[in-house]
């Protein structure tokens, strides 16, 4: 009888459902700050960095439900070439056994980082440069460390809201006031970033999405482990000239750590903020003049604090789960590539044939180069798409700067609450406007800024929804 009683607790433990004892989470970071001197991208004229204001990182969260492991990795970069992600996937799978489809990698879209798009961002099959290899290696290291840190955990999710920091940056203008575009045409009906309190403003050309979606994990005793959040804000900016910075995304991670009282833990608490569907959203309210001029980095800190406060408020509503099912899907979709018309190509070649000067290239010349290069691309290319399920949450991943309308449609049609899309995920192919926005024209739709067919956003959304449905 005594022997039986000693065995009974072990028997009960073995008989318990696996979901009640096997869920684990782990998090880690890797530093991806480049050497000073590399070209900072984000504008039309890259320039060498002269200082590092704050380091760039890859922030990783690993989840394990006892059957499936998935990892989220958010990089402090404007974007990254698909081949760089493929290199990282190969390293991770070889070193940890994690299937490539279960690794969800994205970039925040900070405009104060050097390029991870390769030596020629318009090349279809360019090899990796030294910095891309370095980042791929550091992603793999961060994933491996997060997996090493796997420990029993609880998980939950919530949705907050911060409408004060998101504005649609595309505006309808009064008739006749939209400038000629780089192709010599006057067909644009909207203008990006039209200027504060511009008397020619009519109305914003679309909605915003103020939601902050978050997934959080903690120890069974309640100590925070990690938080993965997403907000549809392009970036904030306001850096000192030639500074490298992770923008407000890193400041959010630091601030939410403070609010959660999770500083100086071992292993360290890791927060990350992925970029949602912000292709047409920024932090500038063009309907009025700014109340004052901000010092460098001041606006970033303010936005980070507002978003972190809203996320912290939502965090208090989380219903914690001892375990939830995990699932991952990775598929490719053939998408048509846009090519210049014969007239556009002729004009571009004429512009590029003119003698070069020491003056920075004009917008017309920049787009002449872009569309000439894009003309070399094949008629279609395979585009990588991802969908991840974390309990009652689904996350879609698209390798573009996705318009907010696509993100809102995904939330409405996915069948999961919450659900959201992360932009710049698994690659970078420029902007992904909706067909309606293509009709309006403007910077985000220009050939060379946008590379895919006019209906690409609809086709990609439809495939993502099919992938999600397969995980129900």
pLDDT at 122: 83
pLDDT at 360: 86
pLDDT surpasses 90 at 372: yes
Q: Of 28-42, 351-365, 381-395, which gets the smallest average pLDDT?
A: 351-365
pLDDT at 266: 95
Q: Are strands 170-173 and 24-31 parallel, antiparallel or unpaired?
A: unpaired
Instruction: Please state the rounded mean pLDDT for residues 344-358.
Output: 91
CA dihedral of residues 116, 121, 126, 132 (deg, nearest 10): 0
pLDDT surpasses 60 at 15: no
d(CA 82, CA 384): 9
Instruction: Please state the rounded mean pLDDT for residues 140-163.
Output: 98
User: DSSP labels for 273-335?
Assistant: EEE-S-TTEES--TTS--SSPPPTTHHHHHHHHHHHHHHHHHHTT---BS---EEEEEEEEEE
Same-domain check for residues 408 and 423: yes
Instruction: Name the residue with higher pLDDT: 13 or 471.
Output: 471
Same-domain check for residues 363 and 416: no
Side-chain half-sphere of 122: how many Cα atoms within 13 Å? Answer: 17
321, 354, 374 - which closes a domain: 374
Residue 217 pLDDT level (bands cut at 50, 70, 90): very high
Same-domain check for residues 353 and 435: no
pLDDT surpasses 90 at 384: yes
In a domain, residue 351? The reply is yes
pLDDT at 123: 84
Task: Taking the CA atoms of 213, 219, 223 and 224 in sequence, report the sign of the dihedral they define.
Answer: negative
Same-domain check for residues 450 and 416: yes
Same-domain check for residues 311 and 346: no
Cβ-defined contacts of 372-378 (< 8 Å, 24+): 372/340, 372/345, 372/348, 373/122, 373/123, 374/122, 374/337, 374/338, 374/339, 374/340, 374/447, 374/448, 374/451, 375/339, 375/340, 375/345, 376/124, 377/124, 377/337, 377/339, 377/451, 378/124, 378/337
Structural domains in the chain (count): 2
In a domain, residue 61? The reply is yes
pLDDT tens column, 52-73: 999 999 999 999 999 999 999 9
Instruction: Please state the rounded mean pLDDT for residues 294-320.
Output: 98
Same-domain check for residues 360 and 248: no
Which position has the token pair 């990254």?
A: 80
Same-domain check for residues 243 and 355: no
In a domain, residue 294? The reply is yes
Same-domain check for residues 422 and 360: no
In a domain, residue 105? The reply is yes
Same-domain check for residues 454 and 324: yes
In a domain, residue 292? The reply is yes
Same-domain check for residues 349 and 406: no
Same-domain check for residues 232 and 359: no
For residue 446, give its domain range. 19-167+205-334+378-469
In a domain, residue 324? The reply is yes
Same-domain check for residues 364 and 325: no
Residue 17 pLDDT level (bands cut at 50, 70, 90): very low
In eight-state DSSP terms, residue 372 is: H
pLDDT tens column, 308-337: 999 999 999 999 999 999 999 999 999 999
374, 397, 425 - which closes a domain: 374
pLDDT at 74: 98
User: DSSP labels for 262-283?
Assistant: -TT-SSPPEEEEEE-S-TTEES
pLDDT tens column, 420-447: 999 999 999 999 999 999 999 999 999 9
* Burial of 334 per CB tally in 10 Å (0-12, 13-18, 19+): exposed
List Cα–Cα distances, 251 to 118, 138, 304, in angstroms: 27, 21, 6
In a domain, residue 141? The reply is yes
């Amino acid at each position: 009888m005594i022997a039986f009683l000693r065995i009974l607790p072990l028997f009960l433990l073995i008989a318990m459902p696996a979901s009640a004892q096997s869920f684990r989470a782990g998090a880690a970071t890797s530093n991806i700050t480049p050497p000073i001197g590399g070209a900072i991208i984000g504008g039309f004229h890259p320039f060498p960095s002269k200082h590092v204001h704050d380091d760039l990182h890859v922030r990783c969260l690993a989840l394990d439900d006892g059957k499936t492991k998935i990892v989220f990795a958010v990089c402090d970069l404007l974007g990254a070439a698909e081949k760089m992600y493929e290199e990282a996937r190969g390293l991770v799978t070889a070193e940890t056994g994690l299937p490539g489809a279960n690794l969800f990698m994205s970039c925040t879209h900070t405009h104060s980082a050097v390029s991870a798009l390769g030596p020629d961002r318009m090349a279809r099959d360019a090899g990796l440069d030294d910095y891309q290899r370095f980042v791929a290696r550091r992603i793999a290291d961060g994933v491996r460390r997060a997996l090493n840190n796997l420990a029993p955990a609880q998980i939950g999710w919530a949705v907050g809201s911060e409408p004060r920091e998101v504005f649609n940056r595309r505006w309808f203008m009064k008739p006749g006031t939209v400038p000629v575009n780089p192709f010599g045409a006057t067909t644009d009906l909207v203008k990006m970033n039209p200027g504060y309190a511009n008397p020619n403003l009519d109305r914003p050309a679309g909605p915003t999405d103020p939601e902050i979606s978050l997934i959080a994990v903690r120890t069974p005793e309640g100590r925070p482990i990690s938080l993965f959040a997403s907000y549809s804000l392009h970036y904030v900016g306001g850096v000192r000239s030639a500074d490298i910075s992770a923008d407000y995304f890193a400041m959010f991670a630091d601030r939410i750590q403070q609010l959660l009282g999770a500083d100086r833990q071992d292993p360290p608490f890791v927060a990350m903020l992925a970029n949602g569907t912000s292709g047409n959203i920024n932090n500038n309210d063009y309907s009025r003049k700014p109340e004052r001029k901000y010092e460098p980095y001041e606006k970033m800190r303010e936005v980070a604090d507002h978003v972190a406060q809203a996320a912290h408020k939502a965090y208090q509503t989380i219903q914690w789960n001892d375990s939830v099912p995990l699932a991952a899907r990775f598929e490719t979709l053939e998408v048509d590539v846009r090519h210049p018309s014969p007239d556009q190509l002729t004009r571009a070649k004429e512009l590029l044939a003119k003698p070069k000067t020491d003056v920075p290239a004009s917008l017309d010349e920049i787009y002449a180069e872009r569309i000439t290069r894009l003309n070399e691309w094949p008629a279609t290319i395979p585009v990588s798409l991802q969908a991840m399920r974390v309990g009652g949450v689904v996350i879609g991943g698209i390798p573009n700067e996705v318009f907010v309308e696509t993100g809102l449609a995904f939330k409405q049609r996915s069948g999961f609450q919450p659900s959201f899309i992360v932009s710049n995920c698994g690659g970078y192919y420029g902007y992904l406007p909706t067909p309606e926005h293509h009709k309006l024209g403007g910077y985000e739709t220009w050939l060379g800024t946008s590379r895919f067919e006019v209906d690409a956003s609809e086709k990609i959304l439809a495939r993502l929804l099919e992938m999600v449905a397969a995980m129900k």
